[in-house]
């Protein structure tokens, strides 16, 4: 079996022209496929999280807190890529459900730390099982080599996207504004 594709994108030269405006068909778009898959996965994850008392939006912040990848509202917002207002409302709901509690920092009274309650920690420990079940169902019939190749290809697309964002951010602001 051939090895997975290189994870290093080839950024030399012009981009390929797999898609062209004159014959573009959305139904053949990788973007549509990825978006459709993401929507489907979110629906199935929400269905799996329901018995835990979580929605699709609530499991990730709870899991980030459990894995110590965030400990304040601003860190949750950054880690989950959601705005501060939405994060506050989401954390309010998790607190109402008894999963999270807020504690003001003794060192800096401006900082409010988030902690999982025992119920929140027990619930967060069940999240990986739901995620694994959904992903394994979606990968039914795939070989390990196919899964490895799929992940490598998606990582290459993400690398290309990150390179685009990095290049856009490197453009001086006055050039962006047309000055």
Side-chain-side CA neighbours of 108 within 13 Å: the count stands at 5
| Stated pTM of the model | 0.80
- Asked if 116 contacts 100 with a C-beta cutoff of 8 angstroms, the reply is yes
**Quick one: which of 106, 123, 111 has its CA closest to 65?**
123
| Number of domains forming the structure of the chain | 1
Report CA torsion sign: 128, 112, 86, 53: positive
Domain, as residue range, for 74:
44-157
Per-residue pLDDT of the chain (179 residues; tens, 9 = 90+): 555 555 555 667 788 888 999 999 988 899 999 999 999 999 999 999 999 999 999 999 999 999 999 999 999 999 999 998 899 999 999 999 999 999 988 888 788 899 999 999 999 999 999 999 999 999 999 999 999 999 999 999 999 999 999 988 887 766 656 65
Beta pairing partners, 113: 72, 103
Q: Is 75 among the domain residues?
A: yes
The verdict on residue 79 lying in a domain is yes
Asked if the structure places residue 35 within a domain, the reply is no
């Amino acid at each position: 079996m051939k090895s997975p594709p290189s994870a290093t994108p080839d950024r030399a030269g012009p981009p390929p022209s797999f898609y062209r405006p004159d014959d573009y068909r959305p139904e053949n778009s990788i973007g549509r496929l990825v978006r459709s898959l993401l929507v489907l996965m979110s629906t199935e994850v929400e269905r799996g999280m329901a018995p835990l008392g979580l929605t699709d939006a609530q499991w990730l912040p709870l899991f980030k807190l459990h894995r110590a990848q965030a400990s304040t509202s601003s860190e949750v917002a950054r880690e989950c890529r959601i705005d501060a207002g939405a994060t506050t409302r989401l954390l309010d709901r998790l607190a109402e459900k008894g999963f999270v509690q807020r504690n003001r920092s003794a060192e800096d009274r401006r900082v409010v730390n988030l902690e999982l309650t025992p119920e929140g920690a027990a619930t967060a420990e069940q999240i990986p099982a739901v995620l694994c079940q959904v992903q394994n169902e979606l990968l039914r019939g795939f070989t390990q080599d196919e899964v490895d190749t799929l992940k490598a290809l998606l990582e290459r697309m993400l690398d290309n996207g990150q390179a685009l964002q990095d290049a856009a951010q490197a453009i001086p602001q006055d050039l962006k504004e047309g000055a």
